Amino acid sequence: MARVVDLQDAQTLHGQLRSWAYCALDCTGTREIADTLKPRLNPLQLRTYEFEKAQQGPAVAMMLRGLNVDLPKRNAMIAQLKREQVKALREIQRLPGIVDVWDRYEKDTGFCKAEPTKKHLWHPRGADPKEQTCKRCNAPRLKLAPFNPGSSQQKKHLFYDIHKVPPMRNKTGEVSTDDDVLRRIGQRYEHLRHITDAIDNTQDLAKQLGTLNGKLTPANRYPSSFNVGAAWTGRFSSSKNPFGLGGNLQNVTERLRAVFTADPGKLLGYADLKQAESNAVAHYAGDENYIEAHAVGDVHTYVTRLVWPELPWTGNLKEDKEIAKQLPDWDPVEGHDLRFQSKRVQHGSNFGLTPQGISMLAKIPKSAATEMQTSYFRAFPFIKPYQNGIAEEIREHKPLVNALGREVTLFGRPWDPHTVKQGLAFKPQSVVADILNLAMVRVFLELEPQGVELLAQVHDALLFQFPEDRVDLAIAVARIMSVPVPITDPKGVTRTMRIESELAIGRNWGKAHPERNPHGMKEIDI
């Protein structure tokens, strides 16, 4: 029997057809633009275009899969982060100048000046809430809102109006209180350091909560979109999937990773390129000392020995790594040991930071940053001439080309330090991104048919899962990532760079710990 279509059904069907037609026109229009522009590409640009097109397959596969989530762990971590956030917000309300911010951004919340983090009861002395007093301590009521660390206007008022800090500008020239500016304020004004650190802490907790609170699929999976060629260096970016589910998996900190687990009968693998960008800098600069430092296996400990030669080094890398874990006098913070500081100095110096910039990045005194950077360039004398050569190419408006053929022309002001920093970052960052993407495509084509499932690309690493009885597949992924790349230095010498990879496997993505996380990631030999 034929179905009778009423008027409402017909209107709905007509609307759907119009939507489909609109989407189809988007697709055909995009194809026409591509067909028009493709013949105009030079051979290098065409090569990059075809390469990024090949990356679409694994990117879509990772988006559709998502990561399995341990719901009890996720809920417990969210509860813990919320407790820490409440505590941090309570502490931040007591910092100098905060109450004065409230006096400008007024909202009736029922807080009391004596205890600004607790809501109290009031003696009404009149119709105006401002005239009410607290029943507990007789302090006046505040017709105020708690300080919001995420409000740029409130932060500007706090630092520039109340604490009289000269207005600082961000990279675009605007007066700002973004993360970089806050670090500069904390570095230059020691008496405000505890305020900038407290704001940074609350924002970090909010970011972690936002990541974990991403909506899950009905199957309790955490999806993420991976955007091909999102950065001019060829790196992927990550975001919620097209349906608003999940979130940015590249934002998942070490603390949160144990929440994500392998599917039943499978293990997670995490293959990471070791010290990749600094290795690329060493080869592009043609600095034999720096290349040798990477060959020994732990460049950051090696550099630490050079920066602090007065320490009692043994010559054994494993023993010296323990020596490098001592804390400097200027920053006795757990985790910010000498090795950590030298790593920051190394990366900052490689990408054009001044001692002032390094001091803000590593949160160390400028004098210490200057001394460490001088020692660094003295140990590796070919890095600075290589950087000067890149700056000269930019001034001459020459395109920069990495070892795998990715090309970019910088159209910013050639004498601007920011433009030069972009140029210094391009070759090492783009070649590492291309190596990782090349490995990802190979894994997708060669190993997925055997049971490997790509899950995420995180900075210089691939996250995947595989059958628990096929560890050989995980080892194969790590070996594929060590792609040999010929690089020619400024002296015309060509060397083959092969960045080694590290492999860890486990039931969940977190780092293994005998008590806290016995089923986490453990490194294995490849």
- Spell out where 375-452 has E strands: 400-401, 407-408
pLDDT one-digit tens code per residue, 3-47: 554 656 666 666 677 777 888 888 888 888 888 888 888 888 888
Amino acid (one-letter) located at 296: V
Q: Are 235 and 433 in contact (CB under 8 A)?
A: yes
C-alpha–C-alpha distance, residues 195 and 186, integer Å: 8
CA 387 to chain centre: 25
C-alpha–C-alpha distance, residues 351 and 488, integer Å: 19
Q: Are 337 and 324 in contact (CB under 8 A)?
A: yes
User: And the tokens for 484?
Assistant: 């040999």
CA-CA-CA-CA torsion sign (76, 77, 82, 87): positive
11 CB burial (10 A radius; 0-12, 13-18, 19+) = exposed
DSSP 65-97: H-EEE-HHHHHHHHHHHHHHHHHHHHHHTTSTT
CA 85 to chain centre: 21
pLDDT one-digit tens code per residue, 166-195: 988 877 778 888 888 888 888 788 788 888
Q: Are 274 and 500 in contact (CB under 8 A)?
A: yes
pLDDT at site 123 = 45
For the whole model, what pTM was predicted?
Answer: 0.81
Domains 42-66+222-287+383-526 and 74-212 share a fold: no
pLDDT by position in tens, the chain (length 526):
445 546 566 666 666 777 778 888 888 888 888 888 888 888 888 888 889 899 999 999 999 999 999 999 999 999 999 888 888 887 887 777 776 665 554 444 455 555 554 555 444 444 455 555 655 566 555 444 467 788 888 888 888 888 888 988 877 778 888 888 888 888 788 788 888 888 888 888 888 988 999 899 999 999 999 988 778 888 898 998 888 898 999 888 889 999 999 999 999 999 999 889 999 999 999 999 899 888 877 888 888 888 778 788 888 878 888 888 776 665 555 557 788 888 888 888 998 888 888 877 776 778 888 888 888 898 899 999 999 999 998 888 888 889 998 988 887 676 777 788 888 999 999 999 999 999 999 999 999 999 999 999 998 999 999 999 999 999 999 999 998 999 999 999 999 999 999 999 999 999 999 988 999 999 998 8
Backbone angles phi, psi at 479, to 5 degrees: -70, -35
Q: Please tell me what DSSP assigns to residue 175.
A: B
User: And the tokens for 268?
Assistant: 């997670």
Match domain 42-66+222-287+383-526 to its CATH number in 3.30.450.40, 3.30.70.370, 3.30.1490.100, 3.20.20.80.
3.30.70.370
Extents of the domains making up the chain: 42-66+222-287+383-526, 74-212, 314-381
C-alpha–C-alpha distance, residues 48 and 45, integer Å: 5
Contacts of 418 (CB under 8 A, 6+ apart): 171, 412
Instruction: Tell me the CATH number for domain 74-212.
Output: 1.20.1060
pLDDT one-digit tens code per residue, 388-415: 999 998 888 888 889 998 988 887 676 7
363: left (phi over 0), alpha (psi -120 to 50) or beta: left
The secondary structure element, H or E, covering residue 488 is strand 484-488
C-alpha–C-alpha distance, residues 516 and 316, integer Å: 31
Amino acid (one-letter) located at 376: Y
User: And the tokens for 344?
Assistant: 């920051």
